Each structure stands twice: as structure tokens, then as C-alpha cells.
A and B are shown apart, each in its own frame.
Chain A
Amino acid sequence: MNQQEALYQYTLRLGDNALILGHRLSEWTSKAPLLEEDLALGNLALDLLGQANSLLEYAGKTEGKGRSQDDLAYKRAEREFLNNLLVELPNGDFGFTIVRQFLYSTFALFLYEELSKSKDEQIAAIAAKSLKEIKYHVRHSSDWMLRLGDGTEESHNRVQKSLNDIWMYTGELFEMNEVDAILIKAGIAADLNAIKQKWSSKIEEVLSQATLKRPQDAFMQTGSRKGIHTEYLGFILAEMQYLPRAYPTAKW
């Protein structure tokens, strides 16, 4: 694998995470428990789709085969998506969505902080831009972790259960392969071991304030780095890609 191929895959990984999580959050539109949260989750979804747009556009340019961000979003098959399993999980209840968002946004915060110093100028620019938005996302989900965790017995039990159920999907966020090795050497990518340390201590800090227990690291799910996904991604793509695949020349 050369550096260009590694950069293409790395940018896809970032872009696919933003795209799929943005899609999931958009499913809350009109269904959130409060009007304010309907707006909030919709805004988060929009930020993520915007980030996905910039990242997939750059992935297409890096690949050099003339594929646009739309081609990459709408015309790839499931096995070609490199997003983490965490972001494709169904929304569950509001608490589950918040726990997932908290774990992901905190990860994205530390990752994009590093990437904003990347030697690849476009990665650095997109990361710096996205970071401003991600800080709001972290604030939003951390506030809710405190409210739900340190709230009623019912809310506490529900978020603790969500946390326990989701935990086995967090190990994968920090997996590294040849792509990372090549790009870390070139000063482009971030070392995920270092990100993991920062992530763990931030997560522990918020969880203890929220009177929640950090689950034990045990069996961890894996697969996305090789394009192997949960059954849920196929359903997301079926919905997301239906229109552009059925009507390839549609414009609106």
C-alpha cells in the first residue's frame, strides 16, 4: 500500500463515521423526547453530514478516479464502508443515543485535536473546522450524561445499561492497521494509543460525576477496518441509497 491509498482509506474512515452517525441522528427528527432535543439532534446530524461532505470530497480527490462525495456515499456497497460499528447501531432509547454520542464525540474531540496539526493541509483544515463543532457536541452529550446518570433511578439504570451494552463497541475505535502505520510515519495521522489514554481519562471523569460505572474491558467487537459490519449497516444503506440508485439522474 502506498501513501496515497492509505490516505484515501483513512479519509474514508473519518468520512464514513460522520456520514453514518449523522444519518442515525437524523432519524430522531420529529421523534425526540423534547422539542429542544429534536433541534439539538438535528443540528448535530447536520454538522456531521457537513463534515462527511468535506471528508468524502477529499477522499474522492485523493483516490483520483473522479468519484465525488455523492458517488462515495451513495454508490458504495456495505463491505466498502469503513465506519466503526459503534455509529451504525440502532438509536435505542434517548439514553442509548446520548451514551453513544458521548463516547463518539469525546473520541472525535481528541482525534481531531491531533489531526488539526496534521502535515496533510486539507486534513488539518477539515479537522480544525470540525473541532469547533465537536466541542459543542461533547458539551451537549456530557450535560445529558450528568442529567440522566445523576437523575432518577429509572434514568440512571437505563443509561448504565446502555453504557454496559455499548462498551464492547469502543475497543474498535482505537484499532490501528497498515493505514495508520504509513500515515503516522508521514506525520498525517494520529496515534490512536495516545488518543485512547486521553479518551479514557475524560470518560472516567464524566462517568464518575454522573454516578455511573465504567464497564470492565472484556470482549470487544471488531471488523470495520476490514469492511465487516453489523447487520444494521445494510438497512441504513438500503434507505440512504435507495433514491440515488433508483433515480441516478434525479436532481432537487
Chain B
Amino acid sequence: MITENDILSWLKEIPDPEIPVISVVELGVVRKIELNNSKVTVTVTPTYSGCPAMKQMEDDIRAKIHENGISDVEIKMTYSPAWTTDWITDEAKEKLRVYGIAPPEHSTIDKKVLMGLQERVVKCPQCGSAVTEMISQFGSTACKSLYKCKDCLEPFDYFKCL
């Protein structure tokens, strides 16, 4: 007898197409799993409106459930509540850091930075130095900004808050 928890554990094996060290579940994209008779409905939400990896994630989720012997799969898209980086677990944030991406701060801090009320300190994921500078608000993918460490001189990505 398959349960919704079993399906969740399958989905935890699907890596984010752009940042493969965390899963689509850890990213917070999977919002709901419903099992009715033999039909599975997975509700997902996009990170950014134009996230090009969204289609890939939907295909991966569908394929994963098919692999486990369920053929009737529906993927639903929801926009509310809007995705936030606060849904990324602390454990996943640590995985991001080890991977070389500075993890997002809590969004309340980021809001103050965006309004110019507070300075942001983004620590270098390589050497841990707090002496870093933002090179560009926009980086290699929609969810990242580009930073440089002034101590070890390595450039790195910062997963920006949303």
C-alpha cells in the first residue's frame, strides 16, 4: 500500500536541475501531494516566475512517479502563497554553502537591505571571510547574485532572498 509519504520520499531523490546538491523538495517547490485511488496529484510552485528549470522539474517529478509504477499523474501549478527562500531548510542551506553557493539570509533581513536600511554581510563560502563585495545583483541564474571575496579573491554566487 503506497502512501503520500512514500511519494514524498521518491520526490526527495529528484535533484534541482540547476543546483543538483539539493532536491526539489528541499528547494520548497513541492507544495502538496495527494493520492486518490491510483491517481497522484502534485502541486508545485515556481521559484521565479520565469524559472526555466520549472518545466524540467515537472517532467522529473512525473517520470519519478511513473518509475514507481503509478501512471496517472497530474501536476498542478499554484502561485499562492508565493515561493520564498525561507522555505529552504537549514540543512539544505548548509548543502548550498558546501557546494560553494552562499545561502540566502532570512527574507526579513533582505527586505531591509533592498530598501537601503541595512548593510548585507554575505560570507565567502570558500574561506568564511565576511569581507566580500557584490559584483552584480543578477547572476548566472535568476535566483543568484554574483559576489567576490576580498580575502581569498574567489568569485562566488549568493542565493538571493525572495
Given contacts A40-B137, A136-B137, A140-B137, is CB(A125)–CB(B82) below 8 Å? yes
Q: For window 22-47 of chain A, which residues contact chain B by CB distance below 8 Å?
A: 36, 39-40, 42-44, 46-47
- Does B80 sit within 8 A of A, measured CB to CB? yes
Complex: how many Å from CA A132 to CA B85?
Answer: 11
- Minimum CB distance partner of A57 in chain B: B77
* One of B46-54, B88-96, B97-105 contacting the partner: B46-54
- Does B28 sit within 8 A of A, measured CB to CB? no
Given contacts A50-B48, A50-B49, A133-B49, is CB(A128)–CB(B138) below 8 Å? no
**Nearest CB in chain B: distance from A250 CB, A:** 16
Complex: how many Å from CA A139 to CA B113?
Answer: 11
Q: For window 126-162 of chain B, which residues contact chain A by CB distance below 8 Å?
A: 135-140, 142, 146, 160, 162
In this complex, how many residues of chain A approach chain B with their Cβ under 8 Å: the count is 28
Given contacts A46-B48, A47-B49, is CB(A125)–CB(B80) below 8 Å? yes
**Nearest CB in chain B: distance from A36 CB, A:** 4
Contact of A40 among B83, B114, B136 (CB under 8 A): B136
**Nearest CB in chain A: distance from B122 CB, A:** 16
Q: For window 41-64 of chain A, which residues contact chain B by CB distance below 8 Å?
A: 42-44, 46-51, 53-54
- Does A124 sit within 8 A of B, measured CB to CB? yes
Contact of A36 among B46, B114, B136 (CB under 8 A): B136
Q: For window 54-101 of chain B, which residues contact chain A by CB distance below 8 Å?
A: 78-83
State whether A43 touches B142 (Cβ < 8 A): yes
- Does A135 sit within 8 A of B, measured CB to CB? yes
Complex: how many Å from CA A46 to CA B48?
Answer: 9
- Minimum CB distance partner of A34 in chain B: B136
**Nearest CB in chain A: distance from B14 CB, A:** 21
Interface residues of A, dominant DSSP: helix
Residues of A with C-beta under 8 A to B79: 54, 122, 125-126, 128-129
Query: What is the 8 Å Cβ interface bit string for chain B, positions 24-52, against chain A (1 contact, 0 not)?
Result: 00000000000000000000001011111
Complex: how many Å from CA A42 to CA B80?
Answer: 25
Complex: how many Å from CA A128 to CA B52?
Answer: 20
**Nearest CB in chain A: distance from B29 CB, A:** 13
- Minimum CB distance partner of A142 in chain B: B116
State whether A40 touches B138 (Cβ < 8 A): yes
Contact of A135 among B80, B114, B135, B139 (CB under 8 A): B114
Query: What is the 8 Å Cβ interface bit string for chain A, positions 116-159, against chain B (1 contact, 0 not)?
Result: 00000110111011101101100110000000000000000000
Complex: how many Å from CA A44 to CA B50?
Answer: 9
B residues with CB within 8 A of A? 46, 48-52, 78-83, 114, 135-140, 142, 146, 160, 162
Q: 12 additional contacts, CB 8 Å, given A39-B138, A39-B140?
A: A43-B138, A43-B139, A46-B52, A48-B50, A51-B50, A53-B50, A54-B79, A128-B82, A129-B83, A132-B82, A136-B137, A136-B160
Shortest beta-carbon contacts, A-B, top 6: A50-B50, A50-B49, A125-B80, A36-B136, A46-B50, A40-B138
9 residue pairs bridging A and B, Cβ less than 8 Å apart = A40-B138, A44-B138, A46-B142, A53-B49, A53-B50, A128-B82, A129-B49, A129-B83, A136-B137
